[in-house]
A and B are shown apart, each in its own frame.
Chain A
Amino acid sequence: MESQRTVRRIEIETHPRARFDGRAVDPTARDLLDKMRNWVGIVPRRIATRKVYLLDIAMSDAEAQRVLEALVDPVGERGCLGRLDDRADDDGTLPWVVTVHFLPGVTDVVGRTVRRVVSDELGRPIEGAAASGRQVLLWGLEREDVERVAREVLYNPLIERVRIERPPRSDDVEFPRAGVPQTPPVRTVPLRDADDETLLSISRKGMLALSLAEMRAIAAHFRACGRDPTDAELECLAQTWSEHCKHKIFSARIDYTGPDGERRIVDGLFKTFIRAATDEVARNRAAAGIDGGAPFLVSVFHDNAGVVRFTERDHLVYKVETHNSPSALDPYGGALTGIVGVNRDSFGTGIGADLLANVWGYCFGPPDYAGRLPEGLMHPRRIRDGVHHGVIDGGNHSGIPYMRGWEIFDPCYAGKPLVFCGTVAVMPVESAGRPTHEKPVSVGDFVVMVGGRIGKDGIHGATFSSLELSAEAPVRAVQLGDPIVQKMMFDALTEARDLGLVSGLTDNGAGGLSSSVGEMAELTGGARIDLARAPLKYPGLAPWEILVSEAQERMTVAVPPDRIDAFLDLCARREVEATVLGTFTDTGRFEVFYGDAQVVDLPLEFLHDGVPRMELSAEWSPRAVTPTSNRVSHPSVADALLGLLARPGFASLEHYARHYDHEVKGLSVVKPLLGVRGDVPATATVMRARHGRDEGVVLAEGVHPFYGAFDPKVMAHAAVEEGVRRVLCAGARIDRIAALDNFCWPDPIASEKTPDGRFKLGQLVRCCEGLYEACVAFGVPLVSGKDSMKNDAVFEGVKISILPTLLVSVLGQMDDVRRAITLRPSRPGDVLFLLGPPDAAPVLTEYERAFGVPPGDTAPPPSPETCRSWARAFVDVRDRGWVRAAHAAGRGGLAVALAHMVLASDLGLDVVLDSVPADARAVLFGENLGRYLAVVPDEHAEAFAAATSAHRIGTVTETGRLAIRRKGRTLAALDVDTLRRAYRTEEDAHG
């Protein structure tokens, strides 16, 4: 049989008969058509789509024909080797043919599977690779329109190439080959005698994001060694010392001046506020004897995710991350990498946890943004679409349901979107007879890299995220994940854990091997690896690139010598690549070789503790919040509510959210969307953690960037308080709540680029103070957290900085999910109570953002201690069984919360505000903390009122109408259909 190594092209399109009993246009084409219409206002007369594969694999013509048949669906598709016929339209017009292929080196998950099918079909091992592409045929457009559609809808030049042609097309078999045959040599960087200017220039040109003080410290270290560093050593230090990995701002010594002019030294924000809050809570719990002999906190802060006690068999693990900069450049790939990356964090805790649920939350520029965007920035709606799509694919393909999802929109997020992704996992208390949350790595254990191969993707991700975003962003900072390779890796590693084959593992994320091996080396006091053994996607990577690449789907695993054969055999059977790179040692050094040549020789002490501590200065005092417009007249209460319900961030998210799987694993109890139509966001979600058990996990969050503009301390109170209030509404135990903090900040270091750095750092100090106060007041420990400190974008000289944004993710527990509570009223005649403060807090409410005028007089926000007393009062009546439904009034105030209850039930609410002292508008649209809405059976109403300070504000009716009255006057009377029309405006715009 004669095999030829020529690149073969396969094109596949929908067979006309596949539309036989469907509609006229194929769904992929229809989806593109919608985007063209909505995004750029260009509509072709006709559109069709095709799949394209390029095979760089030696095979005979007969084999190629068999491969074609294996790839084409015999009923739904037709395809050919070479090019399909580009038919003219009925009137003889030829289409424009737009073909998109990945650039060399970009992860091509489809290409990988095609290669697999070719190998299966040919029944022999094969050399070479396959690549995928896609083709869109457009009839009835001018060339410039086609080019615009290609640019703004069909491809992303950072990761793809495009070809736009009229038939007859040329033969395009340009295979995306990456790499060069020769391995670049290791360079020495002359640092010892460099002056300050040279040091800074080395840092800047190398994208190292190292400050002058840090460069000086490195130079001093190598002067003492009597040599200059290699490029690999410098890169390794840059990754390890990056803000992303080292959290330098959170450990800096800060000279802080507070609002009353008092000045003090903050000896590290993390130590002073975050860790201190958790320690204080732990002490208080111990003193009160809450946990008996089994402390609630199992493992906090030092591992990839926090671990808390759950049942006698399982712990819970939780981590939330951000992936902001990559999502700005390649929204799909950046966000996908965000979710599969945080999966690895929770998975890589201890010796491995079982992934249970994902959460996501996004801050975007407004989807209807009409202002001019600087060159290089994508429109917020394209970012929004791509981010959703990426997290949808990442989560669904991994078989992990999502449990929380939210969006916030503001122009401050148009430069850099915030993409929060988190994963809850459940961890067996013991596996193979050992505690699962520990990493018992010993000297002599092998360093094994497992999962995907290494390429240039994601090089400098950690340092890149430590810089502001600009048009010069490096292409290779974008990674693309492959959730299936990762899922296969997780499956194999879970088996390995249960067989006792693994003594430790960690994620290869930011900083790649330099971080993962460098960190695990601390467990034994050293590690020695050989980069020449590491499997590469393509040849020609320099040793330093292999060391710091952030190519996805990789874990670093420690395997004891007597288990290594079993481990490698298991991985081979599961088709998961595993390579021994070296061993853990106790030399006190991180030693990296490339073959025989040593390329890194760094003492662990210098690598991990050598970074000079930053000395920063900060101040904070209140600043007036600028209103968004000068409007002075209020809309009617009814118009205001309908207007809010239609706003992005409040309108139904169902259009996006239903694309995320939330049922896989079969454990859902209170789903993220609920109600008669399944379109109302749950106050908090509840799920079982294991089959056959009734204990549940309760999830919610608090995020209040607009409080931050008023006072970052109150933002932190609000975030903790609302997250806690939400899980309590759903039925969580008040004594088993843990929280995670995610800080996203604009650059808070004063410089020429950031003249207001002192104030922004002051906001951070103030926020941390608030977080400490609220966590201690509620007895809620912080078990894990992350900060992202450079959320600024500079394009065309214009700087867009985000509002300081704190996300507090709350992890609650309940003993029996069958007692879970939702916001959905079910019995007419039940009584509605409002527990908590009636006043409006002095913050920028959604009402003011929408209508340019505050909803009414304001009062100071209640203290965390006061909020805690309301929480306890609520839990007390809840646990007596007096609460049939409950909801938390959050952004948008009481009015939006009441609308949710009507939308969820199709029942009515008769709300009478006579008993509430404050102004009606302030009550309805104010966004104060601590407000619980409780639906109470009539027979318990009297007892409920007596046991709490709650205001009785209405009753559940059968009318399907939200009526709001005060002193005999009707302020609003809105039937559920009217509410729903407003609530689903945005979705209807999507068709």
Chain B
Amino acid sequence: MAETTGRPRVLVPTGYGLNCEAETIYAVERAGGCPVAMHISDWVHRGPSVLDDVAMVVFIGGFSFGDHIASGRALAHLLRARMGDALARFVDEGGIVLGICNGFQTLVKMGLLPALGRTAGGPLATQQVTLTANERLGYRDAWVRLRVDPASPCVFTRDLGDLVFSCPARHGEGRLVFGEHATYEALSAAGQIPVRYVDADGHPTEHWPDNPNGSRGGAAGLCDATGRIFGLMPHPEAFAYPENHPHWDVGAGEEPIAARLLGAGLTHARSS
């Protein structure tokens, strides 16, 4: 994997209504990466070779094409057609992909997550699960607590033990729908649910408000079988400073998760 000035290059696609580029770029920098923000139209224009010297791609949050049809649907449709195979190959060759919020929705609807049954070198999987309207309708902005599954292969979380961390969740369509029970069971057993919403006691929860969308088993994110593709609904990149935490004002904050999580992913990017 090529590097520039010693720091791994991280592609941050932008445009079409995405809007979390500033905090994502800052988090990548703080994590020791070299962010390369690029409008998706430029990426599509230049073609898959853009990925050649990139260690990681971060699909950011926002409202791609307004999420008008369904969240992430129009962008996923565009990217699957134009970049789907290139992204599959990128991951097969050791590349790392992170999707946050709208980025996660896009990865799921492209078929990059959870990609059950896909083997390296094979074609892109079909869409197997979906993200849809929160059980309580409407966008909600509130901090949540997530517990890491220590058994997950996810490269971003596997060095974090069973850490519980906070960050804001901000979405209207974050409820993971697995379609079949077996899908949920298979993903859970394989550690492909790396983070879950937890209640005050630290237990995974399906109940509002600790779980903002009603996802089964408190599932807040998914990874693929290799652990190199990770997507989640909440926004770790938005907890960049101690003062982002809602209780910092009374000295009850936490260590910011943004650079820590991104940095953990980058560690594996370097060694791949």
The one of B15, B168, B240, B251 that contacts A691, using a Cβ cutoff of 8 Å: B240
- Chain A residues near B240 (CB-CB < 8 A): 666, 691
Interface of chain B residues 120 through 173 with chain A (CB within 8 A): 126-130, 132-143, 168, 170
Is B73 within 8 A of A73, CB to CB? Answer: yes
Report B152-198 residues with CB < 8 Å from chain A CB. 168, 170, 175, 177-181, 184
0/1 string, A1-31, CB within 8 A of B gives 1: 0000000000000100110111100111011
Q: Mark A106-130, 1 if CB is under 8 A from B, else 0.
A: 0001101110110011010000000
Binds B, one of A468-476, A654-662, A786-794: A654-662
Interface residues of A in 68-83 (CB under 8 A from B): 70-71, 73-77
**Cβ A664 vs Cβ B66 within 8 A:** no
Question: Chain A contacts of B235 at CB under 8 A?
Answer: 663, 666
Chain A neighbourhood of B62, CB < 8 A: 399
A693 to chain B minimum Cβ distance, whole angstroms, is 11
Selected interface stretch from B51-59, B84-92, B221-229, B241-249: B241-249
Contact of B177 among A75, A116, A132, A659 (CB under 8 A): A75
Residue of B nearest to A396 (CB): B139
> Across the two chains, which residue of chain A brings its CB closest to B66?
A484
Residue contact B132 to A76, C-beta cutoff 8 Å: yes
0/1 string, B211-241, CB within 8 A of A gives 1:
0001010000000000000000001011111
B41 at the interface (CB under 8 A from A): yes
Q: Does B20 contact A (CB under 8 A)?
A: yes
In the complex, which of the residues A76, A77, A663 has the most CB atoms of chain B within 10 Å of its own CB atom? A663
Q: Kindly state whether residue B14 has any CB partner on chain A within 8 Å.
A: yes
Q: Does B26 contact A691, Cβ atoms closer than 8 Å?
A: yes
A691-B23 CB under 8 A given contacts A117-B69, A484-B63, A678-B142: yes
Contact A678 B143 (CB under 8 A): yes
Check B23 against A113 for contact (C-beta < 8 Å).
Answer: no
User: What class of interface size applies to chain B in its complex with A?
Assistant: 35 or more
Report which of B14, B69, B180 forms a contact with A491, defined as CB distance below 8 A.
Answer: B14
Q: Which of A799-807, A819-827, A891-899 contacts B (4 or more CB under 8 A)?
A: A819-827
What residues of chain A lie closer than 8 Å to B17, measured between beta carbons?
397, 484, 487-488
In the complex, what residues of B have CB within 8 A of residue A132's CB?
68
Instruction: Check: B39 CB closer than 8 A to any chain A CB.
Output: yes
Contacts of A670 in B (CB 8 A): 249
Residues in chain B near residue A671, CB distance under 8 A? 246
**A817 at the binding interface (Cβ < 8 Å):** yes
Do A905 and B250 touch (CB < 8 A)? Answer: yes
Q: How many A-B residue pairs have CB under 8 A?
A: 202
The contact of A28 among B65, B128, B133, B258, by CB within 8 Å, is B133
Asked if B127 contacts A75 (CB within 8 A), the reply is yes
From A491, which residue of chain B is reached at the shortest CB distance?
Answer: B15
CB distance from B168 to the nearest CB of A (A): 4
What distance in Å separates the Cβ of B270 from its nearest Cβ neighbour in chain A? Answer: 24
Q: Do B139 and A661 touch (CB < 8 A)?
A: yes
Minimum distance in angstroms from A611 CB to a CB of chain B: 40
Q: With an 8 A cutoff between CB atoms, is B2 at the interface?
A: no
CB-nearest residue of chain B relative to A672? B141
Contacts of B68 in A (CB 8 A): 109-110, 112-114, 132, 484
B residues 53-107 near A (Cβ < 8 Å) are: 61-63, 65-66, 68-70, 73-74, 77-78, 81
- Does A483 sit within 8 A of B, measured CB to CB? yes
- Contact yes or no, B136 A17, CB < 8 A: no
Contact B170 A20 (CB under 8 A): no
In the complex, the answer to whether B243 meets A818 with C-beta atoms within 8 Å is yes
Closest residue on chain A to residue B134 by CB atoms:
A27
- Which residues of chain A are near B136, meaning CB under 8 Å? 27
Q: Report the minimal beta-carbon distance from B121 to chain A, rounded to whole angstroms.
A: 24
Whole-angstrom distance between the Cβ of B238 and the nearest chain A Cβ: 4
* A663 surroundings in chain B (CB, below 8 A): 141, 168, 170, 235, 238, 244
- Inter-subunit contact B133/A674 (CB<8 Å): no
Known: A488-B17, A663-B170. A28 touches B141 (CB 8 A): no
In A667-687, the 8 Å CB interface with B consists of 667-671, 674, 676, 678
B2-34 vs A: 1/0 string, CB under 8 Å? 000000000000111111101101110000000
Instruction: Point out the residues of chain B lying under 8 angstroms from A491, CB to CB.
Output: 14-15, 39
Closest residue of chain A to B78 (Cβ to Cβ) is: A120
CA A399 to CA B240, docked complex, whole Å: 17
A392 located at the interface, meaning its Cβ lies under 8 Å from any Cβ of chain B in the complex: yes
CA–CA, A676 and B143, complex, Å: 12
B42 at the interface (CB under 8 A from A): yes
The verdict on A574 contacting chain B, using a C-beta distance below 8 Å, is yes
Contact of A661 among B15, B27, B141 (CB under 8 A): B141
A313 contacts the other chain (CB 8 A): no
- A76–B77 touching, CB < 8 Å: no
Separation of A199 and B240 alpha carbons in the complex (Å): 63
Cβ of B249 and Cβ of A820 under 8 Å apart? yes
Cα of A534 to Cα of B54 in the assembled complex, Å: 42
* A442 CB within 8 Å of chain B: no
- A664 touching B74, Cβ below 8 Å: no
CA distance A676 to B247 in the complex (A): 7
B38 to chain A, nearest CB (A): 12
- Residue from A30, A71, A484 whose CB has the most chain B CB atoms within 10 Å: A484
Asked if B135 and A22 make an inter-chain contact with CB atoms under 8 angstroms apart, the answer reads yes
In the bound complex, what is the Cα–Cα distance between A71 and B69 (angstroms)? Answer: 7
Residue of A20, A488, A573 near B45 (CB, 8 A) is: A573
User: B135 to A399, Cβ gap below 8 A?
Assistant: no
Contact among A20, A28, A76, A666 with B238 in the assembled complex (CB-CB below 8 Å): A666
Interface flag for A226 (CB, 8 Å) = no
A678 to chain B, nearest CB (A): 6
The 8 Å CB contact of B16, one of A14, A77, A488, A660, is A488
Q: Which of A18, A110, A116 meets B130, CB within 8 Å?
A: A18
Contacts of B20 in A (CB 8 A): 399, 664-666
- Across the interface, do A665 and B22 meet the contact criterion of CB distance under 8 Å? yes
Q: Are A661 and B22 in contact (CB under 8 A)?
A: no
Q: Is B241 a contact of A688 with CB atoms below 8 Å?
A: yes
A575 at the binding interface (Cβ < 8 Å): yes
A288 to B93, CA, bound (A): 66
How far apart are B44's CB and chain A's nearest CB, in angstroms? Answer: 10
Check if A398 is an interface residue, CB within 8 A of chain B.
yes
Please tell me if the beta carbons of B19 and A17 are within 8 angstroms of each other in the complex. no
| Interface hub of A17, A110, A664, A671 (most chain B Cβ within 10 A) | A664
Nearest A-chain residue to B108, judged by Cβ: A75
Contacts of A488 in B (CB 8 A): 15-17
Q: Which residues of A contact B247 (CB under 8 A)?
A: 676
Chain B hits for A662, CB < 8 A: 141
CB contacts (< 8 Å) of B241 on chain A: these are: 666, 669, 688
Given A488-B15, A669-B243, A678-B143, A113 and B66 contact (CB-CB distance below 8 Å): yes
Question: Bound complex: CA of A674 vs CA of B248, how far in Å?
Answer: 11
Known: A117-B69, A666-B244. A660 touches B141 (CB 8 A): yes
Q: Which residues of the partner chain A approach B128 to less than 8 Å between Cβ atoms?
A: 75
Q: Given A71-B69, A397-B63, A484-B17, answer yes or no on A820-B41 (Cβ-Cβ < 8 Å).
A: no
**Which residues of chain A are near B19, meaning CB under 8 Å?**
398-399, 487, 664
Q: Does A692 contact B (CB under 8 A)?
A: yes
B243 and A666 contact, CB distance less than 8 A:
no
Enumerate A390-410 residues with CB–CB distance to B below 8 Å. Answer: 392, 396-399
Known: A31-B137, A73-B130. A824 touches B249 (CB 8 A): yes
A736 to chain B, nearest CB (A): 20
How far is it, in angstroms, between the C-alpha of A18 and the C-alpha of B179 when the chains are bound? 6
CA distance A642 to B17 in the complex (A): 44
| Chain A residues in 8 Å Cβ range of B73 | 71, 73, 117
Residue of B nearest to A692 (CB): B26
Question: Known: A27-B135, A73-B130, A664-B19. Contact between A22 and B140, CB under 8 A?
Answer: no
- Can you sample 14 A-B contacts with CB below 8 Å? A28-B133, A114-B69, A120-B78, A120-B81, A123-B81, A396-B139, A484-B17, A573-B42, A574-B39, A659-B138, A659-B141, A663-B170, A664-B19, A822-B250
* Known A21-B178, A396-B63; further 14 A-B contacts with Cβ < 8 A: A21-B181, A21-B216, A28-B137, A74-B127, A113-B65, A117-B73, A396-B139, A483-B63, A488-B17, A663-B238, A666-B258, A678-B143, A691-B26, A822-B249
